Homo-oligomer: A and B are copies of this chain.
Amino acid sequence: MTNILPVLDRASAGIPASLERLFELVRIKSISTDPAFKADCRKAAEWLVTELRSLGFDATVRDTPGHPMVVAHHDGARADAPHVLFYGHYDVQPVDPLNLWDHDPFEPAVRDAEGGRRIITGRGTSDDKGQLLTFVEACRAYKETAGTLPCRVTILFEGEEESGSPSLKPFLEANAAELKADFALVCDTSMWDADTPAISAGLRGLVGEEIVIKAADRDLHSGYFGGAAANPIHILSDILAGLHDETGRVTLDGFYEGVEETPTQIKAAWEKLGSSAESLLGEVGLSIPSGEKGRSVLELTWARPTAEVNGITGGYTGEGFKTVIAAEASAKVSFRLVGKQDPAKIRDAFRAYVRSKVPADCSVSFHAHGGSPAIQLPYDSALLEKAKSALSDEWPKPAVVIGMGGSIPIVGDFQKMLGMESLLVGFALSDDRIHSPNEKYELRSFEKGIRSWVRILSALAAR
């Protein structure tokens, strides 16, 4: 392994200049969802291409039907080292409501915060401009010390992550050969806490279903019809209440097919994280884990499948009271999947269950809202072990391998379309207020994030 101390020193010494570059990028209002900022999105892509070229990358702006991609290649020092694809996104969320921001979201600055912390304020500082630049600036530190990168690196920056990534799959498909690497590095996730770096190894999948129960052909007066006419809200309540048994397990036929128990050592590691129900739930005013009994909050949110009702409506919901029996009632229900649960099977099982509960004189219609399987990255790969060790060298506490309750679709796309596993490492903190006013990124995350990538690249390139 190269001696990385000079590279780390160079990274730290370069922070003031790195910050200037981050500020430049944050000032570009690349809000992908708003057509008014179309030119800004392109400008951000062009800015990145210029930067990457200055580091010796063969970088280009690549047009799509939406906002452009940035693709860049660097051969690195050695042909026998792994080839990595780094993914990030240069687009940001809208900034409304603007009046809730303490500072101009597009005028970034380093500011003092509570507890002696220094924070970088501005839209995209954490999600994802600050994060993606940790990798670019790590490359710069290598370039400025060793003159090259320790391994072959391809970079893919997307400009539509905050608006559903409509161009991503077609782009991956059309450019599969060019983008395929040994594995992907994705920097769009969080630390466990401010001192503990984290690698996300599991992402739950998702099945969304909307159901509409129809009973009478009009709203009825509950005086005239109450007690005799089918009430679609009752039917819906029965359906939803029956989705879980008394132990909190989901009752659908075959729901747990493909769900595996989390390895004991992983569970033990999670227990060491010391996250009790009180700490995680306490942040949002709760204290008692719901869902499956006898499992920790981390296991429930990282490694267990769920059924959740995300919305329900029916009948009169305005002020006051109306004694109506509604003609219809509807609910939006989603399932988080783990392991090898099959989204199509889960959807079918749900629909069969619902149909079995709807009386013959009523009807139900279904509307599918997305379906994607869970992604489980290996808990024990060499890739993961190297990254864990590199991160543990940089931060006060050893790196932990965590699950993630949510989904990062790109990871599934890389797996499925390019046959490539991902390593999810990020330096955001849970209080970064991404997608909200007053987004920030810790200055420490930025600096130690850059240094972390220096260490990880070195570890991955090591023979």
Contact = CB atoms under 8 A, between A and B. Distances in A.
Contacts of A330: 317
A225 interface: yes
A304 interface: yes
Given A237-B241, A244-B234, A321-B210, A281 B311 contact: no
A166 interface: no
Interface string A224-254: 1111111101101110111110000000000
B284 A229 contact: yes
A204 interface: yes
Contact of A304 (B220, B227, B313): B227
Copies in the complex: 2
Interface in A308-329: 308-317, 320-326, 329
Contact of A323 (B208, B238, B291, B312): B208
B304 A326 contact: no
B226 A306 contact: yes
A361 to B, nearest CB: 4
Contacts of A404: 223
B323 A228 contact: no
B326 A292 contact: no
Interface string A255-277: 00000000000000000000001
A354 interface: no
Given A208-B323, A406-B223, A332 B315 contact: yes
Interface in A275-312: 277, 280-281, 284-292, 297, 300-301, 304-306, 308-312
A140 interface: no
Interface string A199-232: 0000010101010000111101111111111110
A283 to B, nearest CB: 9
B238 A241 contact: yes
Interface of A: 204, 206, 208, 210, 215-218, 220-231, 233-234, 236-238, 240-244, 277, 280-281, 284-292, 297, 300-301, 304-306, 308-317, 320-326, 329-332, 334, 336, 359-362, 369-370, 404-407
18 contacts: A206-B223, A217-B285, A222-B306, A223-B406, A227-B305, A228-B280, A230-B286, A231-B290, A233-B310, A233-B312, A234-B240, A236-B237, A310-B323, A311-B317, A311-B322, A312-B312, A322-B332, A323-B334
